[in-house]
Amino acid sequence: MRFERKITSAIVSCLLLIQCGVSLRVYRPFPEEILFERVRPIPNVTVTVPAGYETKLGIYDGYFFNPDDLVNEYGHLSYLIRKDLSIRGERFPRLIREGGKIQVTDFLLESKDDCSSNLVQVRLRASVQIGKEKPEVFDYKDRIESHVTNCFHVFSTVTLVPLLWYVPYMGYRGNREDQINQLGRNVMEEFFLFLENQSGFNSSPKLLKRQHNQEPVNDPKLKEILDSL
């Protein structure tokens, strides 16, 4: 009886831990990116996002509990867009000079568990108008399917066989926090590259070559954690 209570307690503790264990750190992967910057207002550029995304940026559905809204440590969607226009305005010359509209019409960043499989997906669709030109549409989708799930995580804590398979597999695929953050950063980078292209930036082949050869940028939040150890 005592053993059964210990097993039950371990499972409940595990469920609570994994349900609250996803931190969203989505940003444009630039060197030395920090959590928040002072955003300079740009009156001739309007940015709108879908209802419900004024504060949250992602959704985590861990199967055992109701889905959770995820707040991004680096700011919500509208802030991320306005921040880049503010601190890197030289990369959007026509947009800043002529003004325009950025209307995000569809956005989803989600990690969803079934018992035996997990789907992490992102999509972003936006209409971008610069000056009086015809609006251009940005449409991006990506997904990662895996078997990194809360069910396997719970079972691996109480039985040995799943543990021998699950831990190496998770090390290979990455956990859901890694996956959702990676997809979030990817979509932001692709969107801003699209904005730069529409704004007349990146016209130099030398500049393009240099950008493609840049070293990968590490998560600045991760660096803070490692430096504090």
Q: Is the pTM higher than 0.95?
A: no
- Dihedral pair phi/psi, residue 43, rounded to 5°: -60, -30
Can you read off the two tokens belonging to residue 143? Answer: 């997904």
CA distances to 29, 65, 134 from 187, rounded to whole Å, are: 11, 27, 23
Residues 169-188 have pLDDT tens digits of 444 345 778 889 999 999 99
C-beta separation of 202 from 196 below 8 A: yes
Four-CA torsion 40, 103, 23, 15, nearest 10 degrees: 150
> Rounded distance, CA 111 to CA 51, Å?
20
- Bigger pLDDT: 82 or 211? 82
Please give the tally of structural domains in the chain: 1
- Listed range (9-18, 21-30, 124-133, 183-192) with the worst mean pLDDT: 9-18
> Rounded distance, CA 128 to CA 197, Å?
12
Residues 31-74 have pLDDT tens digits of 877 777 788 889 999 999 999 898 899 998 876 677 789 999 99
Which whole number is the average pLDDT over 10-38? Answer: 68
Residue 100 has pLDDT above 60, yes or no: yes
The single-letter code of the amino acid at 133 is E
What pLDDT was estimated at residue 171? 44
Instruction: Report the chain's mean pLDDT, rounded to a whole number.
Output: 76
Domain that holds residue 49: 2-228
What pLDDT was estimated at residue 73? 93
Residue 192's pLDDT band (boundaries 50, 70, 90)?
A: very high
